[in-house]
């Protein structure tokens, strides 16, 4: 038999309504709640959960009884970064498991269990946000650009659809001033957030091959254009979110240049070196242009996100205002 085909069944969805804390710290206790219609009869309610990879069980207790439905709950400590759990309702002729896959009258695989993660909560504003994603080079342009030697000009109104000559270095000339000039249009769409694909200096139009994480690409207007856009979006209540490629950088990044120039450079530890690879290092998807970053390096972690003046903390600072 499959799932229990009845709307009057127990319910839990892992949201704040059903958890006393949906983003606990390790060691904290969390109360798990289940809403059960009074017409649904059972003798015992149990929560099965995993601690250190081993299943544990605890009985649900009646917390609040209403005219139509009642709330049952159990409180346990969170001792692992991930805690998987499900509920069992048992009685005469009844053995129902409630997991993220719904209510079933037979055992189901643990990969359908609910789970709670011990990590900081996501910002509350995120749940009420409507984002518009922008690929900076192709949204809007404020005017003609002087292109670097690696780039190929792509006329704004006559894009080559043949794909025969595509190599990721076609620059159409979109920039942040172009985005700023279209904020009325974006506001009319009802959005309150803009999600940018990478906007750091690079050697491509997609900019996933960053040559630096320290500034906005001058082709997009640089930091000056970013601050101007920030001021304009703040007035409209629009948040700005960007894509920082922490998995890899570009082969032209100054970290890689320093790492290749000296085996004693601290940046040498930022990458994975492999003599079996033609160019000597591991790249994302095996690509030479995208060397993977090795966060086993304490120096890299400090520079990227742990240090007081790290890259991540810089962009999240009030000055740069990334959400």
**Which CATH number among 2.40.160.60, 2.60.40.10, 3.30.70.3450, 3.40.50.620 corresponds to the domain 29-119?**
2.60.40.10
| 305 CB burial (10 A radius; 0-12, 13-18, 19+) | middle
Domain 125-316 in the same topology as domain 29-119: no
Confidence grade of residue 168 (pLDDT, cut at 50, 70, 90): confident
Q: Tell me, what's the pLDDT at 156? A: 82
The three-class DSSP label of residue 263 is coil
Contact 203, 252 (CB under 8 A): yes
Q: Tell me, what's the pLDDT at 144? A: 82
Q: Give the H/E segment covering residue 35.
A: strand 29-37
pTM over cut 0.95 = no
Region 34-46: what's the mean pLDDT?
Answer: 96
DSSP letter, residue 276: T
Instruction: Give residue limits of the domains in the chain.
Output: 29-119, 125-316
Identify the CA nearest to 48 among candidates 121, 93, 5, 108: 108
Check whether 1 has a pLDDT greater than 50.
no
Q: Which residue has the tokens 């930022």?
A: 270
Least confident of 6-10, 52-56, 307-311: 6-10
pLDDT in tens, 96-127: 999 999 999 999 999 999 999 999 888 889 98
Q: Tell me, what's the pLDDT at 305? A: 97
DSSP 224-260: HHHHHHHHHHHHHT-EEEE---TTB--TTSHHHHHHH
Kindly state which CATH superfamily the domain 125-316 is placed in. Glycosidases (3.20.20.80)
Q: Tell me, what's the pLDDT at 96? A: 96
């Amino acid at each position: 038999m499959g799932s229990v085909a009845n709307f009057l069944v127990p319910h839990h969805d892992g949201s704040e309504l059903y958890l006393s804390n949906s983003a606990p710290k390790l060691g904290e206790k969390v109360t798990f709640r289940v809403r059960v219609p009074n017409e649904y009869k059972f003798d015992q309610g149990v929560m099965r959960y995993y601690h250190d990879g081993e299943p544990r069980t605890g009985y649900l207790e009646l917390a609040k009884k209403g005219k139509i439905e009642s709330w049952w709950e159990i409180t346990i400590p969170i001792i692992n970064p991930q805690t998987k759990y499900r509920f069992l309702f048992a009685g005469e002729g009844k053995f129902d498991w409630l997991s993220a896959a719904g209510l079933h009258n037979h055992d189901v695989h643990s990969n359908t269990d609910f789970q709670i993660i011990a990590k900081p909560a996501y910002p509350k504003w995120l749940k009420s946000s409507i984002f518009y994603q922008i690929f900076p080079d192709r949204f809007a342009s404020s005017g003609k650009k002087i292109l670097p030697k690696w780039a190929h000009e792509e006329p704004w109104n006559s894009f080559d659809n043949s794909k025969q000559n595509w190599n990721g270095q076609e620059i159409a000339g979109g920039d942040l001033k172009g985005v700023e000039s279209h904020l009325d249009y974006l506001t009319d769409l009802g959005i309150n957030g803009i999600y940018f694909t990478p906007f750091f200096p690079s050697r491509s139009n997609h900019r996933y091959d960053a040559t630096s994480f320290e500034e906005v690409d001058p082709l997009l207007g640089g930091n000056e254009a970013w601050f101007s856009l920030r001021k304009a979006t703040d007035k409209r209540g629009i948040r700005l979110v960007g894509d920082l490629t922490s998995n890899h950088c570009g082969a032209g990044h100054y970290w890689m240049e320093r790492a290749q120039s000296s085996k004693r450079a601290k940046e040498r530890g930022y990458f994975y070196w492999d003599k079996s690879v033609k160019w000597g290092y591991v790249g994302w998807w095996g690509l030479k242009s995208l060397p993977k970053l090795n966060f086993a390096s304490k120096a890299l972690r400090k520079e990227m996100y742990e240090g007081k003046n790290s890259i991540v903390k810089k962009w999240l600072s009030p000055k740069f205002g990334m959400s």
